[in-house]
């Protein structure tokens, strides 16, 4: 999510590597809560193995907002940056191996980074990248039907459909589990694969 720098800005690897010793390694089972709704995010989460989801509770039922997999990092950004209660819970979906870096070190790392020559441009690019992600999710809702959104997911991020339980995907797509099942059924009939 946020500091998923490594591929895009290889320069930064040296910075990250310096902070690796401060990370706490954890092996956790599925459905482990890494950040609870209402708590203030105190660390950055990096996923080595497994996957997690970001969700919120709405009148008793979960609404999943995003999924994260191997080599991705995440946090409840607004909570992390502004020290306010998180609107979201972060929970593992599969048994996972994760690394936690306390906020203090993240901020220190960012401060060091700020002296690099292209820091401003880099920050803006990362900011634009994250903004574009959520904007695209939003745009997809005002442009596509749930069926089209499911097909987009199937085309662009099939690993989500393969690894994530269907009711999480349903809430992410904004439909009921029943309707997602109908969509799958309809697509299976339309495009038999034999």
Tell me 22's DSSP state.
G
Q: Does 110 bind a second copy (CB under 8 A)?
A: yes
Residue 132 interacting entry, from a second copy, DNA, none, C-beta within 5 to 8 Å by type: a second copy
In this structure, how many other beta carbons lie within 10 angstroms of the beta carbon of residue 156? Answer: 8
Which residues lie closer than 8 Å to 177 by C-beta, 6 or more apart?
Answer: 166, 167, 170
Residue 165: contacted member of a second copy, DNA, none (CB under 5 to 8 Å, by partner type): DNA
Residues of span 142-171 touching DNA by CB under 7 A: 145-147, 165-167
Nearest-approach distance from CB 94 to DNA, in angstroms: 9
Using CB under 7 A, pick the residue from 178, 190, 192, 194 that binds DNA: 178
Taking a C-beta distance cutoff of 8 angstroms, is the pair 55, 91 a contact? yes
Kindly report the number of other CB atoms within 10 A of residue 140's CB atom: 15
C-alpha to C-alpha distance for 55 and 126, rounded to whole angstroms: 23
Stretch that binds a second copy, among 25-33, 92-100, 168-176, 185-193 (CB under 8 A): 168-176
Centre a 10 Å sphere on the Cβ of residue 115 and count the other Cβ atoms it contains.
7
Nearer to DNA by Cβ, of 1 and 97: the residue is 97
CB 69 within 8 A of CB 159: yes
Q: How far is the CB of 10 from a second copy (least distance, A)?
A: 18
Q: Looking at 42, 140, 151, 181, which residue binds DNA (CB under 7 A)?
A: 181
Name which of a second copy, DNA, none residue 134 binds, using a CB cut-off of 5 to 8 Å depending on partner kind: a second copy
- Does position 33 bind a second copy by CB under 8 A? no
CA–CA gap between residue 2 and residue 65 (Å, rounded): 15
For position 40 contacting a second copy by CB under 8 A, the verdict is no
């Amino acid at each position: 999510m946020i500091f998923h720098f490594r591929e895009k800005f290889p320069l930064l690897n040296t910075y990250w590597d310096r902070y690796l010793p401060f990370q706490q390694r954890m092996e956790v089972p599925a459905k482990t809560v890494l950040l609870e709704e209402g708590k203030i995010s105190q660390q950055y989460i990096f996923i080595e193995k497994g996957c997690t989801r970001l969700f919120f509770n709405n009148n008793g039922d979960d609404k999943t907002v995003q999924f994260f997999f191997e080599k991705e990092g995440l946090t409840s950004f607004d909570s992390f940056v502004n020290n306010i209660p998180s609107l979201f819970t972060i929970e593992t979906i599969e048994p996972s191996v994760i690394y936690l870096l306390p906020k203090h070190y993240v901020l220190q790392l960012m401060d060091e980074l700020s002296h690099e020559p292209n820091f401003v441009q880099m920050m803006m690019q990362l900011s634009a990248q994250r903004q574009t992600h959520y904007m695209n999710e939003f745009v997809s809702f005002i442009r596509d039907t749930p069926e089209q959104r499911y097909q987009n997911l199937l085309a662009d991020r099939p690993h989500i459909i393969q690894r994530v339980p269907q009711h999480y995907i349903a809430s992410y797509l904004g439909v009921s589990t029943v309707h997602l099942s109908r969509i799958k059924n309809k697509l299976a009939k339309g495009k038999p694969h034999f």
